[in-house]
């Protein structure tokens, strides 16, 4: 599968390595331009290439969004239309500035992203796990129920199935929390945020 990655920080770069190890092709982008990613692309090997944000979005059948939340409106709407988009972003007011509707819990950060990316099939995932755990804790050789849980939510069942398969291919297990409104259960400070539990244990949270 072709996967675009927008954001080459800790989560984006770590996911790139894992997706390539699982046999996928990736195009990775950041806000500073592809020339700043040549070294990373070289480390990732022939299945990877540095790209502009627009090109990474158009390249991917699935596109991982891993930029600071405050920049979500820079994501290219037309290029992500009809794509499965994975929202790995978190709202941190100290970094992102205050969004009153988020502070008042009128809406979740992922619902704001979904409003911006009209036409994309958004799934919230990869935002509750520390990048070092993402890098180290995948276990492809154990039953899914015994693997580290990665929590997901979204309003598109087929998109969630695609993301679930991708999560399993890199050695984790997906736990579906329901609709995008339920993505509030994945936000910083929620009980599952940075919670190191197996899929089986997650059923009791």
Q: Name the residue among 77, 70, 74, 127 with its Cα closest to residue 102.
A: 70
Distance CA 153, CA 186 (A): 9
Region 72-87: mean pLDDT is: 98
Residue range of the domain that includes 95: 2-202
For the chain, the domain total comes to 1
Handedness of CA 14, 166, 119, 80 (dihedral sign): positive
pTM for the model: 0.96
Contacts of 150 (CB under 8 A, 6+ apart): 125, 126, 128, 129, 167, 172, 173, 174, 175
Region 109-121: mean pLDDT is: 97
Distance CA 166, CA 150 (A): 11
pLDDT in tens, 32-47: 999 999 999 999 999 9
Contacts of 144 (CB under 8 A, 6+ apart): 168, 173, 199
Contacts of 122 (CB under 8 A, 6+ apart): 85, 86, 87, 110, 113, 114, 154, 155, 156, 159, 180
pLDDT for residue 203:
83
pLDDT at 49 over 90: yes
pLDDT at 204 over 90: no
pLDDT in tens, 129-179: 999 999 999 999 999 999 999 999 999 999 999 999 999 999 999 999 999
pLDDT in tens, 53-75: 999 999 999 999 999 999 999 99
Burial of 151 (0-12, 13-18, 19+ CB in 10 A): buried
Mean pLDDT, the chain, rounded, equals 97
**Which CATH number is 51's domain given?**
3.40.50.720
pLDDT for residue 205:
81
Per cent of the chain over pLDDT 90 is 99
């Amino acid at each position: 599968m072709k996967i675009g990655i927008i954001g080459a920080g800790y989560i984006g770069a770590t996911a790139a390595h894992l997706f390539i190890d699982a046999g996928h092709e990736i195009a990775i982008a950041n806000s500073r331009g592809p020339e700043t990613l040549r070294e990373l692309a070289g480390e990732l090997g022939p299945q990877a290439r540095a790209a502009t944000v627009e090109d990474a979005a158009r390249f991917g059948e699935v596109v991982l969004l891993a930029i600071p939340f405050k920049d979500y409106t820079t994501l290219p709407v037309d290029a992500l239309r009809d794509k499965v988009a994975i929202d790995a972003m978190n709202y941190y007011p100290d970094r992102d500035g205050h969004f009153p509707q988020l502070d008042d819990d009128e809406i979740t950060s992922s619902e704001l992203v979904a409003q911006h990316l009209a036409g994309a099939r958004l799934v919230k995932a990869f935002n509750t796990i520390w990048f070092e755990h993402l890098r180290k804790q995948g276990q492809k050789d154990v039953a899914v129920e015994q693997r580290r849980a990665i929590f997901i939510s979204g309003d598109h069942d087929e998109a969630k199935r695609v993301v679930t398969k991708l999560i399993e291919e890199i050695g984790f297990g997906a736990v579906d929390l329901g609709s995008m409104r339920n993505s509030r259960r994945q936000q910083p400070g929620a009980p599952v945020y940075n919670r190191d539990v197996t899929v089986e244990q997650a059923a009791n949270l």
